[in-house]
Amino acid sequence: MALQQTELRPMGKSIARKEDPRFLRGKGRYVDDVILPNMLYMAILRSPYAHARIRRIDTSAALAAPGVKLVLTGEDLAKMNLAWMPTLNGDQQMVLAVDKVLFQYQEVAAVVAETRAQAEDALQLIEVDYEPLPVVVDPFKALEPDAPILREDREKKSNHIWHWESGDREETENVFRDAPVVVKQDVRFQRVHPSPLEPCGCVADYNTATGRLTFYVTSQAPHVHRTVIAMLSGIPEHQIRVISPDVGGGFGNKVGVYPGYVVAVAASLKLGVLVKWIETRTENIASTSFARDFHMTCEIAAREDGRVLGLRVKTIADHGAFDAAANPTKFPAGLFNIVTGSYDFKAAFVEVDAVYTNKAPGGVAYRCSFRVTEAAYLIERTMDVLAQRLKIDPAELRFRNFIRKDQFPYKSPTGWVYDSGDYEKTLKLALERIGYDELRKEQAEKRARGEFMGIGISTFTEIVGGGPKNTFDILGIKMFDSAEIRVHPTGKVIARLGVRHQGQGHETTFAQIIAEELGLSADDVLIEEGDTDTAPYGLGTYASRSTPTAGAAAALCARRIREKARKIAAHLLEVGEDDVVWDGTAFSAKGLPGKSVTMKDVAFAAYTDVPDGVEPGLEATYYYDPPNLTFPHGAYIAVVDIDKGTGAVKVRRFLAVDDCGNVINPMIVEGQVHGGLTEGFAIAFMQDIPYDSNGNCLAPNWMDYLVPTALDTPHWETDRTVTPSPHHPIGAKGVGESPNVGSPAAFVNAVVDALSPLGVEHIDMPLYPWKIWKILREHGINE
Ligand code: MCN
Ligand code: CUM
């Protein structure tokens, strides 16, 4: 049962989510709920071809259609210097196609009309004369010397975007040369899409009299959107107000700036009226930030007893037509080099080459922690390949290789400094809770009867909290985050943060942090995020960074308030400041029992009875530059049974033991874990965005791209260990993405474990029943 919000000392308690009453009663306000007078509607014409030259666009018939006010093409935008926009990974992307299109569903032209239906109808009247060009969908073929060059705007005349490496090549080669055992596995992490319930959209409102642009957008990073729009449009930053209303799911899909946003702003600038643009489901899946699409080869060098020595990883990253991954500047492949995971490797070397293909752009989204999903999946999968090859139990292999508790802070061979962890404890708890030994016995019996039952383990390490200013920036802006707290005369608080939640419960958990520090109840604290006019600058919510960055800022900001409150308390208690003691709910005077004042008393005095020499009011701002990232970890175990007749996998049990340090709200953390596991399950079993050889996107809707229903979803069991972060002010680590980072490997490991008697060592996701059925059939099982 969730507890009341009115309790004092709310830290660590499962208080009910403050945001739920409005979400559950349909009283949320999303971007499509923004309906303002004289608003026009925009629709976008998209390319049917994956690669084609545009010979001519004729917009005259569309312009003459009923209700149509404006038609824009790339040429029109070029005149406004808006034909191209920068991406968050240092590339540039076409806003509306100029000269050619590079992926199916690419933005070609836009119509603005009085109604959405009129705008969409008029799209049909735009005539585009395309000359189809050869299409490249396979990133390996894109690298071949005779491949057609996709990006003629670049100086470099190849489809290769960048090469990135990490670790020590030579040392790793040496370790491999001398190693008695080497396993090698090709692993694909397929192209998927976060597909939030609410697609992307915006309302652009340029006021020709004031010169102000108000931009409503479903955004995870409103301040970043404001800065990008200012840089692009030339409107001064303070004349732009970005408002991100309630966000109906983000999962990384709402970090980037999409062409539709820029076109809507351009249209509003041109017409001087409000322009709304809301995507369809197909536009969302087929054109906005996809996730993964990594082709990886992993090699582990080890001793005969399973002790790992070296790790070598080679990856081809398919970025589609533009490199629009949202990544910190210094990490073109995100934090993929966390790929040594929870294991103590002597040496590691990781290489990633990024490639253009005729597919939708994007690259980092879907609960990914900047590509940690790919890294965790790869190492957890390959550790199982090693276990199988050496005939060592996968749990035992992990125990032999874990970074030990006493090795923290641990410096990984690719340069990360893990803050804290206790991997052995977490896996032990998981094995006990699931009854591992019993399950292995049951499995042996079933195998003897020709049945296919599997147990899969994943003991992942996450890396979140981007990040420290010396290494982390986006477009040059350092990745700190911020909080501003205002305590009003009656002791009620409004706090604003630089992040922007999308369902994670910040209105509750950040209120808990501040209430705890100020001796108030969470009910006394209103959290506001998402309005750049009021919130302090921050880089937004993604990469599970909110708690590690803005959460830290909130705690330290509240402590700053408490320090000032102490001065006022001293005055009220009529003692010296040094004699004031804070016990968590009130100030009292040392040696004077029975005499105390609460934060509410102090707040009132801050406006009514301020001592001389103290500034009135009770407000503070804090910008937090984290000293390091936080490294949550977990041990996940999946138990599956495979139906021999159909190849269908039943996930009989799934246990997730997570360690995200100190927990602010256990119920919210559990909710995050449930959601992330469901998405990890979807990726493992049902999600993929394939393209045919002509570059047609084969899953641009929810008929072909599957989102699990409650009926599909397994029952989740959860537990927790607590290893606080030593550098975070309240010892918390992020958790939002852990379940999606850790779970795919557990599912696949379980299915491969079930099929291992047939000699199966790896199957690429998604594990569709037909793939498994085919394997069974090849082995004469279900004929
Ligand atoms: N929390 C806690 N104790 C901890 C850690 C976290 O109580 N030790 C709480 C936090 O205070 C917060 C929630 O758990 O209320 C998630 O916190 P955190 O791990 O800091 O992650 P963020 O708030 O930065 O959320 C981002 C993360 C990402 S990157 C994706 S993607 C994702 C996810 O959150 N998208 C989501 N979870 C989502 N959940 C919902 N409902 N909708 C999305 O779009
Ligand atoms: Cu990479 S999905 Mo989340 O970081 O918004």
- Is the distance from CB of 698 to CB of 360 less than 8 angstroms? no
Phi-psi region of 72 (alpha: psi -120 to 50; beta: other; left: phi over 0): beta
**Is the confidence at residue 1, as pLDDT, over 60?**
no
User: What is the Cα–Cα distance from 320 to 327, expressed in whole angstroms?
Assistant: 16
The token pair at 477 is 């802006």
Q: Per-residue pLDDT tens for 265-285?
A: 999 999 999 999 999 999 999
User: What is the Cα–Cα distance from 82 to 90, expressed in whole angstroms?
Assistant: 17
* CA–CA–CA angle 358, 361, 364 (5° rounding): 140
User: What is the Cα–Cα distance from 779 to 782, expressed in whole angstroms?
Assistant: 8
User: What is the Cα–Cα distance from 58 to 130, expressed in whole angstroms?
Assistant: 12
> CB under 8 Å to 425, separation ≥6 — which residues?
405, 721
Beta bridge partners of 166: 350
Residue 5 pLDDT: 72
Q: Which amino acid is at 98?
A: V
Question: Residue 560 burial by CB count (10 A; 0-12/13-18/19+): exposed, middle or buried?
Answer: middle
Positive or negative, the Cα torsion across 701, 706, 707, 710? positive
The token pair at 431 is 């094995």
Positive or negative, the Cα torsion across 299, 303, 308, 310? negative
Catalytic one among 220, 443, 502, 687? Answer: 220
**Given ligand 1 and candidates 13, 327, 504, 549, which is best to mutate, with the most ligand atoms within 8 Å of its CB?**
504
Q: How far is the CA of 653 from the centre of ligand 1 (A)?
A: 24
DSSP structure class, residue 745: H
The token pair at 367 is 């609960």
Question: Residue 203 burial by CB count (10 A; 0-12/13-18/19+): exposed, middle or buried?
Answer: buried
Question: Is ipTM beyond 0.90?
Answer: yes
**Ligand 1 atom nearest to 196, measured from its CA:** 44
**Ligand 2 atom nearest to 737, measured from its CA:** 3
User: What is the Cα–Cα distance from 743 to 567, expressed in whole angstroms?
Assistant: 50
User: What is the Cα–Cα distance from 555 to 622, expressed in whole angstroms?
Assistant: 9
Q: Per-residue pLDDT tens for 60-78?
A: 999 999 999 999 999 999 9
User: What is the Cα–Cα distance from 579 to 486, expressed in whole angstroms?
Assistant: 26
Q: Per-residue pLDDT tens for 188-213?
A: 999 999 999 999 999 999 999 999 99
Angstrom CA distances, 302 to 240, 298, 399, 424, 627, stand at 56, 13, 14, 20, 34
Positive or negative, the Cα torsion across 315, 320, 321, 323? negative
| SS3 sequence of 144-181 | CCCCCCCCCCCCCCCCEEEEEEEECHHHHHHHHHHCCE
Determine whether 367 is an active site residue.
yes
**Ligand 1 atom nearest to 548, measured from its CA:** 20
Question: Span 675-682, mean pLDDT?
Answer: 98
Determine whether 220 is an active site residue.
yes
Split at pLDDT 50, 70, 90, the class of 3 is low
Q: How far is the CA of 370 from the centre of ligand 2 (A)?
A: 7
Q: Which amino acid is at 461?
A: T
Count CB neighbours of 84 within 10 A.
21
The token pair at 14 is 């499962």
Buried b (16+ CB within 10 A) or exposed e, 4-21: ebeeeebbebbbbbbbee
User: What is the Cα–Cα distance from 763 to 776, expressed in whole angstroms?
Assistant: 13
- Return the H-helix or E-strand segment holding 130: strand 127-132
Beta bridge partners of 100: 53
- Is the distance from CB of 456 to CB of 755 less than 8 angstroms? no
**Is the confidence at residue 594, as pLDDT, over 90?**
no
Buried b (16+ CB within 10 A) or exposed e, 357-380: bbbbbbbbbbbbbbbbbbbbbbbb
Question: Span 147-152, mean pLDDT?
Answer: 97
Determine whether 298 is an active site residue.
no
Q: Per-residue pLDDT tens for 326-343?
A: 999 999 999 999 999 999
The token pair at 314 is 């080679």
Question: Span 468-493, mean pLDDT?
Answer: 96
Angstrom CA distances, 335 to 256, 273, 410, 466, 480, stand at 18, 42, 17, 10, 17
The token pair at 300 is 């582990």
Q: How far is the CA of 617 from the centre of ligand 1 (A)?
A: 32
Residue 475 pLDDT: 87
Ligand 1, atom 40, lies closest to the CA of 503
Count CB neighbours of 146 within 10 A.
5
- Return the H-helix or E-strand segment holding 598: strand 592-598
Residue 189 pLDDT: 98
**Is the confidence at residue 312, as pLDDT, over 80?**
yes
The token pair at 509 is 């958990």
Of the bound ligands, which one is closest to the alpha carbon of residue 362?
2
Q: Which amino acid is at 266?
A: A
Split at pLDDT 50, 70, 90, the class of 2 is low
- Return the H-helix or E-strand segment holding 107: strand 107-113
Around 464, how many Cα atoms within 13 Å sit in the side-chain half-sphere?
Answer: 32
- Is the distance from CB of 656 to CB of 744 less than 8 angstroms? no
Determine whether 368 is an active site residue.
yes
**Ligand 2 atom nearest to 543, measured from its CA:** 4
3-state secondary structure of 189: strand
User: What is the Cα–Cα distance from 545 to 568, expressed in whole angstroms?
Assistant: 34
**Is the confidence at residue 621, as pLDDT, over 60?**
yes
**Ligand 1 atom nearest to 665, measured from its CA:** 7
Q: Per-residue pLDDT tens for 408-464?
A: 999 999 999 999 999 999 999 999 999 999 999 999 999 999 999 999 999 999 999
User: What is the Cα–Cα distance from 401 to 213, expressed in whole angstroms?
Assistant: 56
Q: What is the mean pLDDT of the chain?
A: 97
Q: Is the CB of 287 under 6 A from ligand 1?
A: no
The residue count of the chain comes to: 783
Beta bridge partners of 718: 656
The token pair at 627 is 């000293």
Question: How far from chain centre, in Å, is Cα 745?
Answer: 18
> CB under 8 Å to 504, separation ≥6 — which residues?
541, 546, 668, 672, 736
Ligand 1, atom 33, lies closest to the CA of 736
Catalytic one among 202, 298, 368, 660? Answer: 368
The verdict on whether omega for the bond into residue 766 sits within 30 degrees of 0, i.e. cis, is yes
Report residues whose beta carbon is within 6 angstroms of any ligand 2 atom. Answer: 220, 250-252, 255, 364-368, 542-543
Q: Is the CB of 249 under 6 A from ligand 1?
A: yes
Q: Is the CB of 668 under 6 A from ligand 1?
A: yes
Task: Report phi then psi at 497, rounded to 5.
Answer: -125, 160
Question: Span 386-392, mean pLDDT?
Answer: 98
Residue 763 pLDDT: 98
Question: How far from chain centre, in Å, is Cα 636?
Answer: 20
Closest listed residue to residue 634, CA positions, set 296, 372, 349, 242: 372
Q: Per-residue pLDDT tens for 632-644?
A: 999 999 999 999 9
Residue 650 pLDDT: 98
Catalytic one among 46, 191, 367, 545? Answer: 367
The verdict on whether omega for the bond into residue 736 sits within 30 degrees of 0, i.e. cis, is no
Q: What domains does the chain contain, in order, with CATH numbers?
A: 20-28+481-624 (3.30.365.10), 34-133+198-248+254-287 (3.90.1170.50), 381-464+629-778 (3.30.365.10)
Q: Which amino acid is at 729?
A: P
User: What is the Cα–Cα distance from 604 to 589, expressed in whole angstroms?
Assistant: 19
